[in-house]
Structure 1
Amino acid sequence: METPGTWALLLVLLLLVLLTLALPRTRGHLPPGPTPLPLLGNLLQLRPGALYPGLLRLSKKYGPVFTVYLGPWRRVVVLVGHKAVQEALEGQAEEFSGRGMLATLDGTFDGHAFCIGVFFSNGERWRQLRRCTMLALRDLGMGKREGEELIQAEARCLVEAFQGMEGRPFDPSLLLAQATSNIICSLTFGLRFPYEDEDFQALVRAAGGTVLGVSSRWGQTYEMFSRLLKHLPGPHTQLLGHLSALATFAIQQVQRHKESLDSSAPPCDVVDAFLLKMAKEEHDPSTELTDKNLLMTVIYLLFAGTVTVSTTVRYTLLLLLKYPRVQERVREELIRELGADRAPGLRDRARLPYTDAVLHEAQRLLALVPMGVPRTLTRTTCFRGYTLPQGTEVFPLLGSVLRDPEVFEQPEEFNPDRFLDADGRFQKQEAFLPFSLGKRVCLGEGLARAELFLLFTTLLQAFSLDSPCPLGALSLQPAVSGLFNIPPAFQLQVRPH
């Protein structure tokens, strides 16, 4: 006869079985790390809203290569510091070239999965999409005089917008994001929008909302427990709304190009280049140049082209408000080398070593993508004596490279002179890797570097920057730190020279 004690014993045994099944399965000879708990993984060692500092803290105990479990199912090998990251991403570039998961972006819109396209794809699909995107950007002016002139024209529009503030304090975030978004829209769609256009402002804000969503405490929690949380209501639904706004705009532009495409004319923008190549290869069923991959590649270009450069320029302006002497030295160099009237060009970079050093130091200190974008192993790999199974996810912590104390003395301080030699000439730093490294290096690095230099120098040539609040009240710490480091909001005033 069954008794209450029998039922209690059966429930305990059932619970033990479930906990055993929930324990992460380990294959291969993995790096050391904290012991994961059933259902929780390493939640007790890693606060979901502060993954990056938690990972840095664990590296002090387990070394520059270690293993953690983000929730019960997601096993990640973490790389910390310049040596470990370089050895993996450059020394074993092919093995570490897979793209890992970003659960916050693993949604769908109108039947299209966001996690495809050039950013998330792997294997032959990724190689085809990257090659096609790079060729299109280069043919349309990236790295050429045409691309430089496009950025210079947008920089002049940005100066006019700043002048329109008439000395009043303002937050530069939206205007900077509109400028960088217009550059990528011109390259991708052949379109430029007035800053006053409300639909354009909504598009730019949607890109910014996506960055905030994936970087928020909720976004980091979602990365650890996405299998459970995706079935529940929460802020991730708002994130999908921002992504849908980007997708809707991209679909409209792709459809517009399809309706007006002239197969006998040379491509005028990235979408044209994709559509023409797709038309030529339609007979080949193995091609990955499909409508879905085109759409998601366009969304990635729109998102990344809007938020990355504008955030970096904004942080650089904040640094110049905080350190007026640095601003003065930049302005003195610009006036001495270029005068007050000649527009800065990319060929002037070599003549402006201190200005270039300030831009590099701002990127280093900001560490825009501190955890790096997740990678996966394309095949089972031996790394530093460990055996990492194919498909193992890897976090290369770029923030730990950009602030590696073995490379950068007093890495938490803002010191542009670290990028200058004894004679005041610009000198490269091997650990300066804001665009990552290896086969997955940012495909827009050249464009981003050109935008940063031309937008920043044009603004500093035109204006002196002032803070309406005391300098001591200006914080340089990120307002949000997750996948992205987002600088705090601030007000500035500009005075024309």
Structure 2
Amino acid sequence: MLGIQAILITLLLGLLCVQFLKQFWSQNPYPPGPIRFPVFGSMWKIGLKLSKDTFIKLAKQYGNIYMLWMGPIKLVVLSGYDAVTEGLVNHSESFVDRPVTPFLKAIAKEQGIMWSNGHTWKQQRKFGLITMRKLGLGKKGVEHQIEEEAQQLVQAFTLTKGQPFDPAMPITISVSNVISAVACGYRFSPEDKEFLKLLEAIDYILKISTTIFHTMFIVFPWLMKHLPGPPRKALAYNDVIHSFARKEIEKHKEHQAVHEPQDFIDFYLHQMKKSKNDPQSTYNEENLSQCIYDLFIAGTETTSLTLRWALLLMANHPDIQEKVHQEIEDVLGSSRPFSYQDLKKLPYTNAVIHEIMRSQYILSSSIPRQCTKDVNMCGFLIPKEAIVIPDLRSVLLDPKQWEKPQEFNPNHFLDKDGSFVERKEFIPFGEGARICLGEQLARIEIFIFFTTLLRVFTFQLPEGVKELSTEPVVGLSLVPQPYKLCAVPRFSE
């Protein structure tokens, strides 16, 4: 028995040596990267879990375009402003697809807006852009809904009476209710069990998507679907989100003839009727369910995390917080309503918001793309069907572009006269054909929530706490470690 084990171990070591020598001597035109081993590829270099700077550190070792192997799948990372913009802008059409890994296929089934490709993606995205405009994105309609949620958040914070509390759940509920108003036409109660289950499901799926289990799902898809554990749990939570979406669709179908379209589901059902005789139409309930899924999963996490980081940084930097409050008071006063257009009158506040989004970018890299054909880029061959990761975080922290990239410094967006400066390197929403569909909504939300809260409260560290940690919990998103702060009302009334 021991002799057979020794022979097997020797054969395995021999295979690894052959693989190493093959890669060492090969002159393939692929980008450089860590050595690839059988079955698991080169993901050993990353380990069981990402750190916030994993991809940036690998770029320092292998260059701004490098290759990893996730099992049999080629994965190319673009790092730094020059490489990322070259890929997303100059090769936009070549990198327009989303990857179809076994896990993503099980989760999204190549439907909706975020994870579809080809004709389906073009139709669904075009519809999404048009419908967002019809719903008043950037106009007073959607702003009014955001203002209502901001006031709900003020009420929730007021109930803490200046005592230490964790703002994570109240923020998530308010932000998700903005998406609910856009998608479904109404908000949910913070005590609604189905709504809370939806938020729980979204959180879990986002957490698992960058763990070793995703890699295992790629290597052993059939096995991972049937083994108990995190992947099975993720699939169960996936069903929870689709069940929520289907219930909302049924509610809207019952009242479809009662009023003109009021929300995303109404407009989609109307489009389904218009297109029922079109053989090229992709408008159906399965795609609608996935679109609702996409709106919630993309719109809840990104904005809520940005606001959580914002309050943490304001508590850590009371001098900056006070300057923001003073500018709001001086320009807008303490009582009159304000709109997103007021951002132009608040250069310092605008700079602080941009710097929050830059310094604490909420994704560990960005949502991946897939190469639609062989692409020669910067002297390397990026092969067809390779997964491409444009590392947006590396752009926002690129030392060639930012004076003090590792520091929270609003001066990155101000000139010597204190005027706000737009920066081409500020691309947290991506570039090219797949630029974030909800960019404008997110910008409006962050501005209205942030200024509303800083107008009403001073955010202070709890007694005895010198500073809140800025080291994130790393997954697909960079989440603040659980923290508490005090929301002290600025006005007695």
Is TM more than 0.5 here? yes
Quote the Cα distance in structure 2 between the aligned partners of 1:447 and 1:471. Answer: 35
CA distance change for structure 1 residues 15 and 425 in 2, over 3 Å: closer, same or farther? closer
State the Cα distance separating 1:104 from its structure 2 match.
Answer: 4.8
Paired position in structure 1 for 2:91: 92
Q: Deviations over 1:192-226 (max 9, x none)?
A: 122233432332233223333334x4456547645
Cα offsets for 1:389-409 (capped at 9, x unmatched): 221111111111110011112
CA RMSD after TM alignment: 2.8
Of 129, 137, 141, 2:136 maps to 141
AA at the equivalent of 2:425: A
Q: Does 1:297 align with 2:291?
A: yes
For 2:31, the equivalent position in structure 1 comes to 31
After superposition, give the CA deviation of every residue in 1:406-442 in whole Å (9 maximum; x if it has no partner). 1112211111111111111110111111111111111
Question: Structure 2: which 5+ residue stretches go unaligned?
Answer: none
Match of 1:434 among 428, 432, 453: 428
Kindly indicate whether the alpha-carbon contact (under 8 Å) linking 1:45 and 1:54 is maintained by their aligned counterparts in 2.
no
> What SS does the corresponding residue of 2:236 show, helix, strand or coil?
helix
Shift of 1:376: 0.7
Separation in 1, partners of 2:5, 2:174: 67
The corresponding residue for 2:249 is 254
Match of 1:209 in 2: 204
Q: Distance in 1 between matches of 2:329 and 2:5?
A: 84
Deviates more, 1:363-372 or 1:434-443: 363-372
Cα distance 1:6–1:260, how it changes in 2: closer, same or farther (>3 A)? closer
Question: Contact 1:174–1:204 at 8 Å: present in 2 too?
Answer: no
Deviation (angstroms), 1:243: 2.4
**Are 2:469 and 1:475 aligned?**
yes
Aligned to 1:334: 328
User: Match of 2:120?
Assistant: 125
Q: What does 1:339-418 correspond to in 2, within 5 Å? A: 339-418=333-412
> Are 1:172 and 1:314, in contact at CA under 8 Å, matched by a contact in 2?
yes
Structure 1 residue matching 2:143: 3-state secondary structure: helix
State the AA in 1 paired with 2:31.
P
**Residue pairs, 1:31-110, within 5 angstroms:** 31-50=31-50, 53-70=53-70, 72-101=71-100, 104-107=103-106
Q: Which residue of the partner structure matches residue 459 of structure 1?
A: 453
Shift of residue 231, structure 1, vs aligned partner: 4.4
Cα separation, 1, equivalents of 2:73 and 2:94: 19
Tell me the SS of whatever aligns to 1:486: strand
1-structure distance, mates of 2:167, 2:285: 36
Note the C-alpha offset of 1:58.
Answer: 2.4
Shift of 1:5: 9.7
Corresponding position: 1:237 with 2:232: yes
Alpha-carbon shift at residue 165 of structure 1 (Å): 2.0
Given the superposition, is the C-alpha separation of residues 469 and 477 from structure 1 closer, same or farther in structure 2, using an over 3 Å criterion?
A: farther
What residue identity is the alignment partner of 2:332? L
Aligned residues of 1:372 and 1:396 also touching (Cα < 8 A): yes
Q: Structure 1 residue 337: deviation in Å?
A: 0.8
* Equivalent in 420, 429, 436 of residue 414 of structure 2: 420
In 2, Cα distance between equivalents of 1:19 and 1:97: 37
What SS class does the counterpart of residue 78 from structure 2 fall into? Answer: strand
Match of 1:150 among 145, 161, 166: 145
Residues 228-286 of structure 1, C-alpha deviation per residue, up to 9 Å, x if partnerless?
A: 64443222222233322222111100111122212x95311101111111111111121
Q: Is the 8 A contact 2:99 2:370 kept in 1?
A: yes
Partner of 1:183: 178
Q: Residues of 2 paired with 1:82 and 1:346: CA distance?
A: 29
Higher mean displacement: 445-454 or 30-39:
30-39
Match of 1:48, SS?
A: coil
Check the 8 A contact 2:194/2:244 in 1, yes or no.
no
DSSP 3-state at the match of 2:113? helix
Aligned length: 485
Instruction: Provide the residue aligned with 2:305 in structure 1.
Output: 311
Letter in 1 for 2:386: T
C-alpha separation between the residues in 2 aligned to 1:53 and 1:103? 26
Counterpart contact for 2:111–2:120, Cα < 8 Å: no
Q: Distance in 1 between matches of 2:255 and 2:383?
A: 48
How many Å apart are 1:471 and its aligned residue?
A: 4.4
Q: Is the 8 A contact 2:177 2:188 kept in 1?
A: yes
Tell me the CA shift for residue 127 of structure 1: 0.6
Cα distance in 1, alignment partners of residues 91 and 422 from structure 2: 23
Checking the alignment, whether the CA contact within 8 Å between 2:208 and 2:475 is kept in structure 1 is no
Q: Distance in 1 between matches of 2:335 and 2:371?
A: 52
User: TM-score, normalised on structure 2?
Assistant: 0.91
SS of alignment partner, residue 66 of structure 2: strand
Q: Can you list the C-alpha shifts for 1:433-454, whole angstroms capped at 9, x where unaligned?
A: 1111111111000000000000
Distance 1:6 1:358 in 2: 65
SS of alignment partner, residue 177 of structure 1:
helix
In structure 2, what is the equivalent of residue 486 of structure 1? 479
Moved more, 425-434 or 446-455: 425-434
- Contact residue 477 and residue 488 of structure 1 kept, 8 A: yes
Change (3 A) 1:106 1:376: same
1:487–1:19 CA distance, 2 compared to 1 (3 A)? same
Q: Distance in 1 between matches of 2:289 and 2:132?
A: 16
Task: Determine whether 1:193 maps to 2:188.
Answer: yes
